[in-house]
Every structure is written in structure tokens, then in C-alpha cells.
Structure 1
């Protein structure tokens, strides 16, 4: 299934847009993971080198006719030479967001009396990640003592964000290639695409976006979290907090997670960490595996399913991972005229979960 009038283009800093034609791409996105965009291009220039690509800004654009449906911006971190058919050289590019660079630095470091936003700001700015914004609905108090111990900056940040109930995704402007990293701790910070109709009877090419497959799954998971810690400043402090899971769907309540040490030194962090943990343990107890022709269904988006025969599924969902695949074989010299196709396979969870 695909949209009429589809085409894909790629711009790389320093190269003319006409020097590279997109043969195909795969975009892998998931909450709290830097995206990976794999792009195959064909070029009449056979002698492009690594210097022409590595660390260069690149923008993939998905068009329907003359209207851009989506932009994906990043930096090229890998290039591989492919085959040459005597007319064109094939190049395979891997494109990642600026956040990926944080994985190349490793450090031992102490942060004292700083909250998660201050720590994030320091490390992101040091790694050149300037386009980011926090969307916080919780207080996230300052930490008395926080240690980065032999971790990469990316591993350290993702660990802290997970402890604080924060997930991240890339926000894309509705029009234009503007893109930024969003740190979010509540589904209220996830934008809505509105209603998305369920239509399993689509042909190979349609003019409107829809969801062609929606497979719901429920599973048993941990039912509660208990966490405890100790501080030498107040030895008698119990430092014990618990949180029961919600939306159990009839499962037993005996599946307890006990976490010690809980990595907190005060009541505010203890209560919050227990809640964040049970939400994390149960985030995938209700999921939907879906397929669509819309390139806009990706992490950081919500939608309302309509028209499904099971009325309980006609509600709001949020996308947590997606694989967007596009093929444009006519970009190759001598192709047999196969059409451009776009497939989006994604996973969603109920929109009230994080």
C-alpha cells in the first residue's frame, strides 16, 4: 500500500541535490533511542569519498506530488560504496541525530546539587546538541550527588532520564525541516495527529492515509514495585516506597519488583522513582502492532483509531516505535519502471501510558 505521487529526495551539505537520487531508505525510530536512517543513493559521480559525507548534515524529504509530507534531518556517520552499473555509483549512507554523538564520549564525573535539566543541559551542549527542549510536568528535584562512572554521555543521560520517568523523541515541524530533541515526562507532551481510519481493504496505491493492519496484544507483567534506600545523614529514615500497577486486566497481583538501592535520598525522589519504575515495567503490557501508509506516524505522535470492528480499540493511542521503509527503484538507470512504495510498520500503546 502506498500513496499516489510519492517521491523521495536527499540533500547533503556540499553536494548538489541533483547529484544523488534516492533508491530506497529505512528509518528506525523508538522512544528513548536515537533514530537510525539508512539511505541508498545512486549518483553519476563515481569518486565521492568519505570526506564528502561524514559529519555532513543531511535531510531526507518525503513528497506527495509537490507537497512535502515529512522531513528527517541528521548527520551522516557512515558511508559505504556499493555497485557501479557503468552509469551510476551506489552509496549507502547511515544518518543519525546529533544526540548520537553523545555515545562517543566516556567520562568519570560528579554532579552535585543539580536537577535533571541542569545535568542534561551541560552534557548536551558539550556534545553540540543545541536543538532540544524539556517538556516537564513533574518537579524533578535536584539530586544531592550524581555520578557518571565510566559511562558514555549517552548511556549516562538515558539512565538518568529513565530513572526520572523521562522519555525522548525527535519533534518534527509540521512544515519545513526544523527538528529538535524533546525530553518529556508525560503523554500530554506528545502531539496528536487526530483521527486515523482503519481500512484493511486498501489496494496497492491509495490517495488517503489510513491504518491497514491493527493487531492488539495484552500480556501479564509485574504488578507492583517496592524500592528502598539509605542515607547516613538520617540512619533511622526507612526510605521505603511502593507503587501498585494500574490497568491489570484481571492478572494476579503477586508479581512484585523489589529494588535496592533505590538511588534516592529523599521522599520526593523515592515516591516518584517507585511510580516511574512500575510505569516502565508495565508500558508494554498492552500494545498494538500496526501498518499504515502515513509517514507521520512515529514516536512522539498520538492518534485516534476509528472504524475498527472492535469498538474497544477505537480510542487514542501513541506510537512508541516505527520502521518506515521507502523504495524508489526508478532512480536507477535502466530500471523496469517499478513504482515508488512506502510502508510504515509501527507499535503503539494506549495514549494514557508512558
Structure 2
């Protein structure tokens, strides 16, 4: 019987005869097989054999049957000619080899590494595998396969988790076994126990055994230290270390340190450190041997017996098995056959772990991505100001909310409750880099404009603009934005601040503003200033045009208030002021006007119970109507001119000293009034005076009444040293007391009416010197304020 048999329909037709068969099988590695055969065809179509299944059977001794290798042809080559036969070689492997030919970019979220591996295998309908695990493997929040083959990806995942795989062959398939069990299955039949028989033993040719054993041992790191960082708990020191219990080479540091090992829990870190140390131990204490036994399989265990060193008569785990099967051609008389196996084994009490040999993918530079979010959302973020994105290389997702994990965003400032927050919005393009080069740890480091998201300024037209422009939510248009823009146009530099709706400004202490030239402020509706302390204006010139003031239910109180106006000019042109239900009380208020000129046109004032003291003042009233009730006036050295005025005084007491009064075309009515004039001159022309029940006392006075009508009823008038001149005037005083001492009052064409007004001024000093003051329909309210100019 031949040692090697092959089964394949296409090869059977060609009468292919196998010459040799070699294998390279090791744990956590894809097997590679090579078959050499001869046929009579000099032009064999090797491409027709690619992908074909070839079963290779190896005859076991003592009629124990066959050992079958279920393989796929992946390559073929010519090997030359032997006599009249042509030799070809085929490279074969398992179904796992096809994973090397598929490179992909894919994102997995919230599933374990084992689940990810199963999802990868789902693409291959011929994949046959079995998962045999003892440990529990936690879900990974985010795991990326980027520009790496499916084979490299699954190999990397298994190395990370400390699991490995091997193959079981049968007549129907080759089965991939994924496991973490440290108790390897035992070889079947006579291979469970193998004797050590050196080369010199005569029984070697007729008995399967182990002929050579070579121990290897290398110095390796005896301590593993890992460290990582968790941004959610940045104060946690995620450092862990584990060292070999039987450390050697005392005094020599043998520490393996690795940062960013990929964990956020210290217990998880301990597990990873243990796996790394076990991998170093298992690959540095190996037994290398040679055997003629045909049944050795990587991933299985056997016992060695009859070795002169008792320490080696023990159980071993097979890590790798490389076979060479040779047989002579069909025409050979000798029909020689040869089996040799070179293997590597590990003491069965040493845990096996695969080394992390598969390289992780690296990304040079940044990657571009688009921000995604929930349906109809504009800003999609979480409590840590993270976003989600869709990578442009991801072909399995488009704009779904879960295209990626939550990714942190680099900001200009980031502190403990302070900093800059400018969240990229759904649809914007961002740039992503990776922390420590780990694709599973993305970080958004920038945001860029593109064809759908142009800059807020038209470029290159407005290259002089720079600044910040926001966009109103609820799908606002470009014009719906607040902005801070800097215009750097030389000679016309400016800063533009725009609030799309409201602008709120809070200053905890001082607010200083310096305007080099003019200040313009336009308020479309209402302007409100609220002062809770001291207000001071210096060297101010106010001009108010078309202003309307309205005060309702206002209560103002001023105590010991002093006003100083020096060279102060206020101009108000068609201004309307309205007071409703206002109560103003001034206590101990002193107002001083020097050089003040006040002009009232078309004004109506109402004062009740007011006491005014004016010295050296000149007033001009035109078309003014005053009504004064229960008022007391003291006027010294005062000159008044009233023309066309109507004065109604009730319960009024006036005292005039050294006054000169001139009334023209006036009508006076006094009822129950007392007038005292000393050294006054009164001149009335064309006037009508009616005095009823009045007492008039004039001492040293000159009274001239021309064409006047004077009516005084129940009045007491005392004029001493006064001069009163009324021309065309009508004066009516009822129940008034008027006292003018040394005063001069001139009213021309004035109408003064004071009705139902309540003005209380106590302890007030008002001085007007050379001041011009014009108020038209203005309401002026000063509460608790001191103003000096």
C-alpha cells in the first residue's frame, strides 16, 4: 500500500501519483501544505486546480487506518521532469487561508472579540469552526478593522484575548477549534504515549517513537507592568503589574512595560498583564524533538516515556508539527517510504498563550469623517461633549446615529467647568486622529469647510474678515446667526458684534468704556437703565430729539440730594412725557444752577403747596397756563414779564419785596387772598381787577392801573415798596396769599395753570445763573442721585 494517497476527480483522471507531502502546522497559525505529484501531461492546466479540494491520506502503521488532511489548492507550479513523467507541486491550505485574501474596513461596537470573530466567519459559507472556551470575554465598546485582512484581524483579536486555535481534519472538512483550555486533548490510540528511542536503536525503523529531544530555555521578562488612562475617571491610577513566582537572575531587572494596553478597569488590566507574562513563559521554555510517528497533531497532548532523564518522562503539549512524507514512484522496485516530524512541545504544567505577533494597523495623519446624529437632530452630543461620526471609508453605515462610538472633541480650552464649547453639528466634516495610534481610541481634532458647508464670509472677496459666526438652531438659515466679526481693512478697522435676538451682558464690578469720538445708540422701542447706587455725569452735552417718556405708578424719594449744573445745556425737541400715579418726595435736596437759561414752549405745569426761592433769575413764559394752589413763593430781586397770561390762585400767599410787576391786557381774580407788597411798583394798563372781601395794604408803593379789570374777593393784598404794572391783564386770585418783596415779575402773553398737582420740596436750594434750559413735554425723575458737573 502506498504511504500517500490523494483524492480529487481532476487529478484522478490524470493518473496523478503523489511523491511527497509536507505540512506546516502550529497553534494560532494557518496550516500550509505542499503536495508533489507526477503525471504524463507536460502541459497541465494548473489554474483548473485552484480552489479545488484535495484530500490527502497518510497510511498509519499496523493497519490503524489513515490520517486525512482536508485541503484547498491555493497555488501550483512546475517542478520539472522525471524520466517520462512531469512533476508538479501544489500549495494547499485550510479554509482559513481565504481570509488572507479579503481586506476590509469595518466597525464593531459593544460585542466581544469572540462575537466579532463569528461575524467575520459568517462571510465564508464553507467555514467550519468550533468554539471551546472556559473564560468569559467582555464586550468591546469599539473595535475597528482598518485596511487589514480578515485573517490578520481575527488573529489579532485572539492574541489580545489570549485564546488560540488549531485544526481538526476529517473526510468531510477541516474544523477550526478556538479554545483557551490549558488541558489539551490527548492524542488518540498509540499516540497518547510515545517512547523515546534514540537513532541507534534498531527498533526505530519498525516502531513509531521519538528519536531526538532538545530542550530550549531563554531568558525572558519576569515582570509585566501595564498602565492606561481613563478620561471619565482621570484620577484613577490604572497601573498594574505581575511578576513570575519563580523569578531568576536576582538583581537584574527584567521588566516589560507597556502603556495604552486598552483597559479602563484595574482588574481587566491584571488579566491582560497575566496573559502577557504567560505568553512570554510558554514561548521560552520549549522542547524540540523529532519523531517518525505519523499521528502527532498540534493542539493535542501526549506522554513521553523511557527517557533517561526522569524529568522528561511527563506530559507535553504539542505547539507545532512539521511533517515530511516521502514515497518512491510507482515504478520503483523498493517502494521506499519515509515519515519524519519535527515538533515543538511545552510542559503540560506551563500555561500556553499566543504571543502578540500580528501588527496592529496604523494610520498616518488624520482621517476625514462626517458628524451624525439622531434623526432631525442638529447637535448630537452627550455629557462629555462627545460626538459621533461616519467615517468615509465605512461602507456598512451611512448617516445612522450609531456609526461610531462617542468621540471626544478637541476644544481651544477645556477646564473644570470652564473653557470653550463649540460642538460640531450634524453634517459637518471633521478630522479624526487616534490616541496613542490606537484605532479603537479616536479623537476629533479639527473641523473643516467643504462644498456643503462653506465659510460664513464670501472668500476671497472678504479676506479682511475674521471672527466667529454661529447658526440658529431649528435649521436656521445663513442669515439666522449671531456673530463677532473683525474687519482688518486698513484705515477702516472695526469690530462687529451681532446678536440674532437678545444680548445679555453682566459685569461683576466695574465697566469702563472709552470712546475716542462719537457714540451712537438707537433703541427701537424701550430703553431701561437701572441704577442702584451713584450716578455721575461730567462735561456732558445731551441732545434728545423725538423722545417719549412714560412713567406709571412711580414712587421716587430723594434725601439730602445735591445737584450741581455748571454750563449745562439740555435740548429736547418735540418730546412727550407722561406721568401717571407718580409720587415724588424730595427731603433735604439742594439744586444749584449757575448761568442756567430755561425756556418752556407750550408747557403745562401743575404745582400744589410749592415753595420756591429764586434769586437773580429771569424767566420767559409764552402761552403758558399755570395753576397754583396752596403755594408759598418768596421772590427777591425778581423780574417777571407776563403777556396775555391768565393766572388763577386759590389760597395763595405771596410776599414780594422790591419787586416790579408789569401786566398788560391781564385779568386778575383774587378771592380771600392776602397780598403784601413793600417798595413795589405795580402798573396795570387796560386791566380789569375785581377785589372781593380782600385786604390790600400798600406802603410806599406806586400802583398804576390802565384799562385793567381787577377783581379781588375776600383777599388781603399787602404791597410795600412795590411797583406793579399790568397791561391788558386779567388776574383772578381766590383765597390766595401773595407776598412779593423786592421782586420784579414780568409776564407777557403767558398762561400759567396749576391744577391738582402735588409737589413737595423741602429744604431745597435752587440757583440758576446764566443757564439756558429747554424742556418740552419732558418727565425728569431723579431718585437717590447726586450729579455734579
Aligned counterparts of 2:283 and 2:14: Cα–Cα separation in 1: 44
Match of 2:283 in 1: 284
Match of 1:99 in 2: 96
Aligned counterparts of 2:59 and 2:280: Cα–Cα separation in 1: 39
Aligned counterparts of 2:234 and 2:309: Cα–Cα separation in 1: 55
Contact 1:59–1:177 (Cα < 8 Å) also in 2: no
What secondary structure is seen at the aligned counterpart in 2 of 1:344?
strand
* Residue 9 of structure 1 pairs with residue 5 of structure 2: yes
Query: Which one has the largest radius of gyration?
Result: 2
Range with greater deviation from structure 2 (10-19 or 336-345):
10-19
Per-residue deviation, 1:177: 5.4
What secondary structure is seen at the aligned counterpart in 1 of 2:279?
helix
Contact 1:191–1:300 (Cα < 8 Å) also in 2: no
Aligned counterparts of 1:347 and 1:336: Cα–Cα separation in 2: 35
Match of 1:272 in 2: 271
Range with greater deviation from structure 2 (239-248 or 258-267):
239-248
Q: 1:160 to 1:196 in 2, by over 3 A?
A: same
Q: 1:199 to 1:6 in 2, by over 3 A?
A: farther
Match of 1:68 in 2: 65
Contact 1:99–1:129 (Cα < 8 Å) also in 2: no
Match of 1:195 in 2: 193
- Within-5 A mapping of 1:148-297: 148-173=145-170, 176=171, 178-192=173-187, 193-200=191-198, 201-203=200-202, 206-246=205-245, 248=247, 250-252=248-250, 254-297=253-296
Q: 1:318 to 1:6 in 2, by over 3 A?
A: farther
Task: Pick the structure with more helix per residue.
Answer: 1
Contact 1:327–1:341 (Cα < 8 Å) also in 2: yes
Per-residue deviation, 1:198: 0.8
Aligned counterparts of 1:6 and 1:165: Cα–Cα separation in 2: 41
Contact 1:103–1:152 (Cα < 8 Å) also in 2: yes
Aligned counterparts of 2:47 and 2:81: Cα–Cα separation in 1: 20
Aligned counterparts of 1:145 and 1:130: Cα–Cα separation in 2: 26
Match of 2:25 in 1: 29
* Residue 300 of structure 1 pairs with residue 299 of structure 2: yes
Range with greater deviation from structure 2 (307-316 or 280-289):
280-289
Aligned counterparts of 1:347 and 1:90: Cα–Cα separation in 2: 32
String of CA shifts for 1:45-72, please: whole Å, max 9, x gaps: 4443123310111111101365434111
Aligned counterparts of 1:303 and 1:157: Cα–Cα separation in 2: 29
Per-residue deviation, 1:191: 3.4
TM-score for both structures, normalised by structure 1: 0.90
Higher relative contact order (CA 8 A, sep 6+): 1
Q: 1:202 to 1:58 in 2, by over 3 A?
A: farther
Match of 2:142 in 1: 145
Contact 1:36–1:94 (Cα < 8 Å) also in 2: yes
Per-residue deviation, 1:296: 1.7
Alignment coverage as a number of residue pairs: 345
Aligned counterparts of 2:4 and 2:11: Cα–Cα separation in 1: 16
* Residue 316 of structure 1 pairs with residue 315 of structure 2: yes
In the TM superposition, structure 1's runs of 4+ consecutive aligned residues that sit over 4 Å from their partners are: none
Aligned counterparts of 1:295 and 1:108: Cα–Cα separation in 2: 42
What secondary structure is seen at the aligned counterpart in 2 of 1:187?
coil
TM-score for both structures, normalised by structure 2: 0.42
Aligned counterparts of 2:145 and 2:231: Cα–Cα separation in 1: 21
Range with greater deviation from structure 2 (122-131 or 23-32):
122-131
Q: 2:87 aligns with which of 87, 90, 97?
A: 90
What secondary structure is seen at the aligned counterpart in 1 of 2:296?
coil
Aligned counterparts of 1:218 and 1:39: Cα–Cα separation in 2: 34
Aligned counterparts of 1:17 and 1:300: Cα–Cα separation in 2: 36
Per-residue deviation, 1:223: 0.2
What secondary structure is seen at the aligned counterpart in 2 of 1:117?
helix
Q: CA RMSD in A?
A: 2.2
Per-residue deviation, 1:6: 6.0
Q: 1:239 to 1:128 in 2, by over 3 A?
A: farther
Contact 1:99–1:124 (Cα < 8 Å) also in 2: no
Contact 1:210–1:292 (Cα < 8 Å) also in 2: yes
Aligned counterparts of 2:172 and 2:294: Cα–Cα separation in 1: 14
Per-residue deviation, 1:129: 5.1
Match of 2:780 in 1: none
The runs of 5 or more residues in structure 1 that have no matched partner are none
